[in-house]
Amino acid sequence: MSRTSVPGLPRSRETQPGLGWPLPATLTDQQLYHQLFPPMFPVSTTGRTVPDCASLHTELKRKGVTLLLLWEEYLADHPQGYRYSHFCELYRCWARKLKLTLGRISMRQAMTVLEGTLKEVPTLCSDAHGSWSAVAKAEDLPHVALNASKGQRVKDIYHIQNANAFHRCLKQWMERFNGVASKFLGNYLVWFCFLDAHSAEVLNAKRDVLLSASFMNPTHQTYKAIRSTKFALPA
């Protein structure tokens, strides 16, 4: 501390309890600072309670439950807990580590999804799940099954790496949105397929066209028809 700044210290700092002149030889600079400038609020030494993210994940599956409601319950039990933004970030970091899966597809689901697309397929190549064998038998198609769990990913000219790479790229691309509504999932899939199909092209012009088209709502009403419409107030 410079000589000119000493007279500027408030007199109340000099009369803090436990301080006197000369200063004790065992008093460190950090101890002196804390006695001159005590914290305005008490600092918790026990740390904050980390929310149970697994329980939050289960509760969020219930209808009408949001992270805001769960944070309010958490804060009621732990008043010194994390603020809302940090609370959400803790849950999202935990949720990113989950393995996303929709389960195994059944034969009926596969037939519904692939309806009309297997007529021009000479050979069905898939993993070793039994549903694909049933599909191949129902469509009377030769079937090449690759068991990835046993390290079998390629057999002659057949492989399933394209599908695996597509799924990986899709999941990595979807992570940036931190979850989307199920009713809009089809729109995101179309968006991703468009980007994937044109990944080797210069997308500047096509991107502008796509963005322009997304904001254009089709209408069959002309300006003249709207101007001539007679509006009546409800009774």
DSSP letters of 72-120? HHHHHH-TTS--HHHHHHHHHHHHTTS-----PPPHHHHHHHTTTTSTT
User: Residue 204: its pLDDT value, please?
Assistant: 64
- Over residues 117-173, the pLDDT tens digits come to 777 778 888 877 888 888 888 888 888 888 877 777 777 777 777 777 888 888 888
Strand-pairing partners, residue 127, are 146
Q: Is 58 helix (H, G, I), strand (E, B) or coil?
A: helix
E-assigned strands of the chain?
A: 124-127, 143-146, 154-155, 158-159
E-assigned strands of 27-95?
A: none
Q: What average pLDDT does range 211-224 have in this prediction? A: 59
Q: What average pLDDT does range 186-191 have in this prediction? A: 84
Cα–Cα distance, 187 to 207 (Å, whole number): 16
In Å, what is the CA distance from 42 to each residue of 46, 80, 118, 152? 12, 11, 70, 61
Residue scoring higher pLDDT (227 or 93): 93
Out of 86-95, 120-129, 185-194, 206-215, least confident range? 206-215
User: Residue 11: its pLDDT value, please?
Assistant: 47
Tell me the pTM: 0.37
User: Residue 74: its pLDDT value, please?
Assistant: 92
Round the average pLDDT of the chain to a whole number and report it: 75
Give the type of residue at 19: L
CA-nearest of 114, 163, 149 to 135 is: 114
- Virtual torsion, Cα 182, 186, 189, 195, nearest 10 deg: -130
Q: Is 140 left (phi over 0), alpha (psi -120 to 50) or beta?
A: left
Cα–Cα distance, 213 to 146 (Å, whole number): 42
Residue scoring higher pLDDT (68 or 235): 68
CA-nearest of 161, 163, 127, 119 to 144 is: 127
User: Residue 104: its pLDDT value, please?
Assistant: 72
Tokens of 106: 């059944």
